[in-house]
Amino acid sequence: MRFADATALAETAARNPTRYSADTSARNPSQAADSAQAAGDAEIRATVYTGEIHPGWDIMGNANGGYTMSMFARAALIDSGRNDVISVSAHFLSPGKPGPVQASVEQIKNGKKFATSRVELRSNQESEVAKTVLSGTVITGNLDDSDGPELIAENAPDIPDPESCVRVIGTDSFPPPFSNRIDQRIDPATAMGSNAGPVVRGWMRLLDDEPMDTIALILASDSLPPTVFNTDLEPWWVPTVQMTIHVRRRPQTNWLLLNSETRFVTGGMFEVDNTIYDEDGDVLAHSRQLQLLGLAHSG
């Protein structure tokens, strides 16, 4: 299944606009009313999109976070009518399970350069109470309009070409089924068992020469094996709590070079900083996610 089809959404309903006063910080109701009358109320419209979390994009039965985050961001991109995702910040509130989902999009601001939306992705299965899978914000825009000076303080890591790296083949456990939905190659120097420390580098592309876009960068940002698997901490369960990705360029090549690193493991949590480059070494996006550290011997 193509990635674009696996994250496809259809508009189903537009809810009535919600009115927000111009001064939401006013504690006195009369002050808020005066401010709203002076500056005018803002209307925030909400639109609902439906889609489906498809089987096979999972890790131990739960949909990969980059996959659900891609669907979450696609809803805002469709709603805004812009060309590219610029920034996504999502809180992971419950696991994504295969089945129908709804994405509710409230456009907070539709500016000249960016559109900012509040998004919720919820399960929509008749057999269970609907649960919010993701909640957060998405900024969309047009990267063709981005121009300005550049300062690059760090170059892409030097790793073997994709053909010289280790192809990841998914299984029913680990590597997970998700690995078979993409073409993923791991740098042998950072493959499991390499004692490289909390770092993983490699290549990723979509299957069947499906072209890359800014939505695919979100998938890529959460596609590598967990960094802590290259440590002696004996991790087992590493769910994402929060993730933010910033996109700088639209991909121009099918292969993406990924570099994931962790610096701090404390209090049962760790961060993963991931930078995405194209085949020419140009930076495309970078992300940070906060994950829980579940240990194999913790009960």
Q: What is the pLDDT of residue 23?
A: 42
Q: What is the pLDDT of residue 194?
A: 83
For the CA atoms of 247, 249, 250, 253, the dihedral, rounded to the nearest 10 degrees, stands at -120
Q: Does residue 34 fall inside a structural domain?
A: no
Structure tokens at 74: 């696609």
Q: In terms of domains, do 92 and 171 share one? A: no
Burial class (CB in 10 A: 0-12, 13-18, 19+), 37: exposed
Q: What's the angle, vertex CA 67, arms to CA 62 and CA 70, rounded to 5?
A: 145
Range of the domain at 260: 162-295
Kindly report the CATH number assigned to the domain that includes residue 53.
Answer: 3.10.129.10
Q: Write the CB contacts of 95 (distance below 8 Å, at least 6 apart in sequence).
A: 61, 62, 63, 133, 239
Kindly report the CATH number assigned to the domain that includes residue 169.
Answer: 2.40.160.210
Q: In terms of domains, do 65 and 91 share one? A: yes
The pTM for the full model equals 0.88
Q: In terms of domains, do 247 and 126 share one? A: no
Q: Does residue 157 fall inside a structural domain?
A: no
Q: In terms of domains, do 182 and 262 share one? A: yes
Q: Does residue 167 fall inside a structural domain?
A: yes
Nearest C-alpha neighbor of 133 from the set 177, 72, 75: 72
Q: In terms of domains, do 134 and 7 share one? A: yes
Nearest C-alpha neighbor of 49 from the set 97, 12, 5: 12
Whole-angstrom distance, CA of residue 52 vs CA of residue 7: 7
Q: In terms of domains, do 11 and 136 share one? A: yes
Last residue of a domain, one of 144, 177, 195: 144
Q: In terms of domains, do 136 and 205 share one? A: no
Q: Does residue 31 fall inside a structural domain?
A: no
Q: Does residue 154 fall inside a structural domain?
A: no
Whole-angstrom distance, CA of residue 82 vs CA of residue 105: 14
Q: Does residue 179 fall inside a structural domain?
A: yes
Per-residue model confidence as pLDDT tens for the chain (299 residues): 999 999 999 998 765 554 444 443 433 434 433 443 343 445 667 899 999 999 999 998 999 999 999 999 999 999 999 999 999 999 999 999 999 999 999 999 999 999 999 999 999 766 567 799 999 999 999 998 878 888 889 899 999 999 999 999 988 888 889 999 999 999 999 998 788 899 999 999 999 999 999 999 999 999 999 999 999 998 888 999 999 999 999 999 999 999 999 999 999 999 999 999 999 999 999 999 999 999 866 54
Q: Do β-strands 199-206 and 256-261 pair in parallel, antiparallel, or remain unpaired?
A: antiparallel
User: In residues, how long is the chain?
Assistant: 299
Whole-angstrom distance, CA of residue 76 vs CA of residue 25: 27
Q: In terms of domains, do 131 and 75 share one? A: yes
Q: In terms of domains, do 171 and 131 share one? A: no
Domain count, the chain: 2
Whole-angstrom distance, CA of residue 85 vs CA of residue 23: 29
Q: Does residue 32 fall inside a structural domain?
A: no
- Stretch (H or E) spanning 260: strand 256-261
Q: What is the pLDDT of residue 28?
A: 44
Q: In terms of domains, do 201 and 263 share one? A: yes
DSSP state of 36: H
